[in-house]
Structure 1
Amino acid sequence: MNTEKYLVKEKKKLNLYEVPTSYHGKLEKKEVKEVLIPENIKKIREYQERLYAENKQALLIVLQAMDAAGKDSLIKNIMTGVNPQGTKVVSFKKPSENELDHDYLWRVAKNLPPRGEIGIFNRSHYEDVLVSRVHKLVLDQPFPKNLVTKDIWENRFEEINNFEEYLSNNGIKIVKFFLHVSKDEQKERLMERIDRPEKNWKFASSDITEREYFDDYMLAYADMLINTSTKRAPWYIVPADRKWFSRYLVSEVIVEKLKEMDPQFPELSKEELDSLDKWKKILEEN
């Protein structure tokens, strides 16, 4: 699969209404769900085992999307079978008072995956250039008003790029996904949350009120994507109207990134190798 076509080119003009939200290629749903995704899950599990044993690198997966785009189910689906001991999922919600008393990257930095692990951010530091921008939240936060200038978002893009470059320089590989769902498909999924009792718990009235800002979000996302997609921390726009395809594409990219990292099982020293026969003999005698 050519994942390059979904990669966001840095600083290239972007209109998200011109980017497909659904897949119309030759892949068949049945093959993807029953063969291709399971194959990738197996590969991810094998790479994670090596990553955990090596304990030198980490992988950070960032997921951003509008409501009902399928972030939660995607995580559940493609991380099935992966050792939870080497995986950390963090869902970032509305900042607490304590979090607002710190810089906007503080809560993200303290939740980064340690070496040997895969970290998944369900929403992330990018909320502070999306929700904060669309709703002008920074004006109501404990933040110096003289710093709220017309350049604040460009400044934050630069800060985020520098932060992610720092992480890359310290062995954390970053890959970011924007699950691109259409407004019509989002409506269907939200209706399902209302109509199906077993999904009522997923529904929040804010999901409806946020739809009023859909166009504003598309502009904010486009600006964010082109300004923070870098070689070291790329963004991929994932058509998300069909969950089977979005899950497959994300799993493909994750496998590619783990392959690039190429984690290896630690090798025993000559002394350790030479002592194995001795320890084996002791076990056999006891």
Structure 2
Amino acid sequence: MRKDSAYSLLTFCSTVINRFLWALYSEQVGDMKHTVQTLLVGLIAVMQPIAASALEIRTAAQDSQPKFIKDGETITGLCVDVFKAIERVDPELKFSELRDFMPLPRIEAWLEEGKLDAFCGLAKTDKRKAKLDFIETPIYATQSVLAARIDDKVDIKGFDDLAKLGDDGVVLVVNGTVHVDILAAHPSIKFDAGAKDTSTNLNKLIAGRGRFVFQNDFALADEIKRDHFVGKIKILPTQFELEGTERYFVVSKKATPGINDKLRAAVEKLSKSGELARIFLAYKPK
């Protein structure tokens, strides 16, 4: 509760209670009834702005469909559905309005600086755990896969096969994502992390500026359809068994007090009820 609203409430109640006691002492029944009515109306009037001042969670949208989907001025998607579900189970929480995409490196920097309170859908890494607080209940899980041009006959079973290709096997990844860290752990693999989103990498793949796109199946399948590359780009069957397939809510260490605990409780409740699974099912690659 804000200090100014709390002070207004106390001042108002003190005034009305004094009037109520005076009416009672004076046996002015009509005045007493009017005073009670005034008290009720006044309490509602004072409490409305207090209720409206719900705990706002400053967040952002990443250019990563279907986690966030931008259509004109509107942003929807899996994480937006999760935001709405959290607001339903805890009406005291309110996520900030999303108007445009923000690059992931900036999102992480703003979380660290305290300019944002929370973000939806990050993989857990040691580097991120040192800077951000993770809500331990995962939002959803994905598998890391490769995409290639439809006519590429290549057979990739794992990272060793990618390394053997050398310059003939350049892998395209999105800057700032966990997939950059994964490939960086394999120095022999050639990769390009210059793109800010998966759509850019798919277009680079079609143009021959890379041989593979390394991304989670969730984002790849959606983006291939969204960019009308079905029949031009395929997802290879190998799923890379890696830690960190789950995606989580992260909270800034400088977030408003109370956000972490309330988010943790809400996400856990949604997970136990099966709501998170139902939300993910609507966006899961078919």
Shorter chain as normaliser: what TM range? under 0.3
**What TM-score do the two structures reach when normalised by structure 1?**
0.24
**What TM-score do the two structures reach when normalised by structure 2?**
0.24
Higher relative contact order (CA 8 A, sep 6+): 1
* Bigger radius of gyration among the two: 2
